[in-house]
Amino acid sequence: MIREAPVICVLKIGGIGSVVTTLPLIAALKDTFPHSRVVYITNPPNLPLIRRYKGIDQSFAIDPCPFPLSVSQGLSVIRELRRIRPSIFLDLQIHTHRHTSAAIAHLSGSSVRLGFWRSSDWLRSRVFDEVIHANLLSPVHELYLQMARALGCKVDDGLTRISLTIADQDRAHARGLLEGWCEPPTKLLIVNPNASEKARVRRWPIEFYAAAVSRVLGAVENLKVGLIGLAAEFDYVEELRRRLADQSERVRNLAGESSLGSLLALLQRADCLLTNDSGPLHLGLALETPTVGLFGPVHPDHYARLGDPAKKIIFYRPLLCSPCVHHVKTPSCGGKGYCMRFIAPEEVSEACLYFLSPAGEISRSELQEWRFADYPRMVAQDRVPLGIWRRRILGWVE
């Protein structure tokens, strides 16, 4: 006899990239507990993304700022969680909003609560039934999968492939943005020069972008370049377009013109994506778009592991002060981003040409790309004491 579908709550507050790296965990949960109902709690801007992932059955939004609103939304989410009586609560906060997430986990009424632990985490070590060491240099999606292992899930490489729904209207919107300008077989290079306002230091200098893109345009005749960004980033993106004025007919500022769905369709259509460490980078990796990613104040071994290795080229020049994002409140460079300036436009343009030129024309072995560390699989975590609730989560009763 099968009971009512058990509920597994997953909480992740952060940017789009952070949410993308949690999706293999959702796949592992669904693969092991096919009758479960997964409820995802995140900040409002991420809702359109997680609703495009088939493994998530329900979602709630909570905005951790400003303070009065966060309390009101938090209480509303807690009331709903108490109503649906979750069996398991997985708190995925590693860097930010850790007290807020721990409080929601504690008050959720969940039978079992798991969370990440860092040194001196007095509160979290008492709220959670099981804590997992948050190694800040481990591949972040593997940290999330370690929670699945703690629950007894079998994790394999197939579960790290991410399938996001792209609707017909999304593709139609994307085609409309390119219509009459970039029709097949014309190649398309999508460029994202932006980074979250919380970490502008992740931006590669705009003059470097201009030099790299100009060189690529000169080398590939049948190429158009779409510059993407949020509406609030239009002026910054426009500055890059102005620096490419001699190729004005081949470069278009699309900042603010695409929804999430049409952005996914654009990335799927692109022959290459050039971007800083940002939300579009993680979307590109998830869609397995040929991607050239630029890292500096964040370590790529931590955040750029997803995706097909053959379809991504990552540049990173580690300095003594890198990585700094998530580790210090203020970068020692004062936001000047010296680590990003060590990435040369010539090598970035060569990487783009590797994806845009005919096969074999450019040797990848000569590129000075980042070589990911040979990271062994994490050791098996001792399972959470399962007891009665394991029978409940599997959906069986005696």
Task: Please give the span between the terminal C-alpha atoms of the chain, in angstroms, as a whole number.
Answer: 8
60 in the same domain as 203: no
187 in the same domain as 53: no
Structural domain boundaries enclosing 31: 7-152+383-393
Place of tokens 């300095």: 319
125 in the same domain as 181: no
CATH number of the domain encompassing residue 237: 3.40.50.2000
Q: Is it true that the peptide bond before 290 is cis, omega within 30 degrees of 0?
A: no
Instruction: Say if CB 43 and CB 93 are below 8 A apart.
Output: no
pLDDT for 341 beyond 60:
yes
Residues 6+ apart with CB under 8 A from 284: 267, 270, 273, 275, 291, 293, 307
The verdict on residue 304 lying in a domain is: yes
127 in the same domain as 62: yes
pLDDT for 396 beyond 80:
no
148 in the same domain as 196: no
pLDDT for 318 beyond 60:
yes
pLDDT for 246 beyond 90:
yes
Share of the chain above pLDDT 90, in %: 66
79 in the same domain as 23: yes
What whole-number distance in Å separates Cα of residue 263 and Cα of residue 166? 10
pLDDT for 185 beyond 60:
yes
207 in the same domain as 122: no
What's the pLDDT at 359?
A: 86
205 in the same domain as 140: no
The residue ranking higher by pLDDT, 256 or 1, is 256
254 in the same domain as 307: yes
212 in the same domain as 239: yes
**CB half-sphere exposure, 45, CA atoms < 13 A:** 13
What's the pLDDT at 1?
A: 30
Q: Which helix (H) or strand (E) holds 7?
A: strand 7-11
| 393 three-class SS | helix
The residue ranking higher by pLDDT, 396 or 140, is 140
Domain count of the chain? 2
pLDDT for 21 beyond 90:
yes
The verdict on residue 183 lying in a domain is: yes
Average pLDDT, the chain: 88
Planar angle of CA 152, 158, 163, nearest 5 degrees: 110
pLDDT for 242 beyond 60:
yes
What whole-number distance in Å separates Cα of residue 325 and Cα of residue 337? 11
What's the pLDDT at 387?
A: 43
